[in-house]
Amino acid sequence: MILKNCLSYPNNDIIDIKIKDGFVSDDSDDDIIIDVGKNMVIPSFSELHIHLDSAFILDEDLENKSGTLEEGISLWDKYKKEKLNPSELRGRVMKAIHLLENNGVTRIRTNVDVSDPTLTALKEMMRIKNEVKNVDLQITAFPQHGLFTCTDNSELLEKSLELGADNVGIAPHLEDTYEEGIKSIKTAYDLAEKYKKNIDGHIDETDDPESRFIELLAKERIKRNFKGSVSAGHLTAMHSYNNQYANRVIGLIARAGIDVISNPLINMHLQGRYDSYPRIRGVTRIREMLDHGVNVSIGQDCIMDPWYPLGSGDPLDALFMALHAEPLMTPDLLEHSLNMITYNAAMAFGAKNYGYSYGSQGDFIVTDAKNPVEIIQYRHSRKVIRKGFLIKGD
């Protein structure tokens, strides 16, 4: 395939993109030539924080009446007990993956709840991972109830890593005590070192300004000189930190090289539920972290489940919310905000061959926009290229 007359992002150069054997090349067999007419062609999206195992389960029996994280967890537990099985999970997961694909996502990192003693969801997700062709799929073994709230949780997490999960998940703010939250972070690093895995945590997903596990996650990485990647999702408590402390901890995050994943759609919905007015927004301090050089990306998190009744599977929707919630509306911030669902997200995913250069994987989105702001503003139809093949669009 050759994509001719492409406007590149963020350099705004007019280039031709030649793809051969799935990768950007110096030449091509010229089987397919698409002249994009100097419209913007961007490297494909990466979805770094989503729960595919709970996607599309929302019905009237699972309505989250309080709108809280805690009630959502309770409803998910009910669903797992009464309805979850490999066949129905597969149908929902594949529906969600196809939705993401059609929106231009070719890398997905999904959290999978491993609190079930049978590990039903994890085992089926491992099978799906080995079958899908149009996305690169990573699995985070996610202890939905923390590691020490139940006797078997830490053992189930370790078993999940033995079965092949890619990342060690944690949720220290869900532990029964602060001491056990600290212990869960150290356990995650122990397991990551033992099994040579990365860490991908739900961290401080609460409005409580006293929830400060992110500083422990960052400091532990520095102390251990941990070589794997470490991602911190949500960080909504940071919204409520005093400014002096927030500035200090953001500097620590930057020094530790932690990848941060904000999930503004869900956090705008779930946070502030214990407030009247003024009500907490709950979206983490994206702009301040970007200013400190932290690698920040944007995640979808949920699609029609007990935590979120909507969800399009489109990273542009999540980015659009982030731009308003923070806000990130200056011309320069708008111009470069696509980084959070392209380059920044690919870096956090661990993609080694991303972009327009020789040897990069041939995954691109062909738009009808003339600049990145138009892509965000209008979100027009798009062609999706996966390893040099057109998987969506005419």
Catalytically annotated residues: 205
Long-range pairs for 365-370 at CB < 8 Å and ≥24 separation? 365/41, 365/42, 365/43, 365/44, 365/45, 365/104, 366/3, 366/6, 366/34, 366/36, 366/39, 366/41, 366/393, 367/39, 367/40, 367/41, 367/42, 368/39, 369/39, 369/40, 370/7, 370/38, 370/39, 370/40
Q: Is the peptide bond before 117 cis (omega within 30 degrees of 0)?
A: no
Based on its alpha-carbon atoms, the radius of gyration of the chain, rounded to whole angstroms, reads 20
* Residue 171 to residue 174: CA distance in whole angstroms: 6
Contact (Cβ atoms closer than 8 angstroms) between residue 34 and residue 17: no
Q: How many CB atoms lie within 10 A of CB 293?
A: 13
Residue 76 corresponds to which tokens in the numbers above? 């998910």
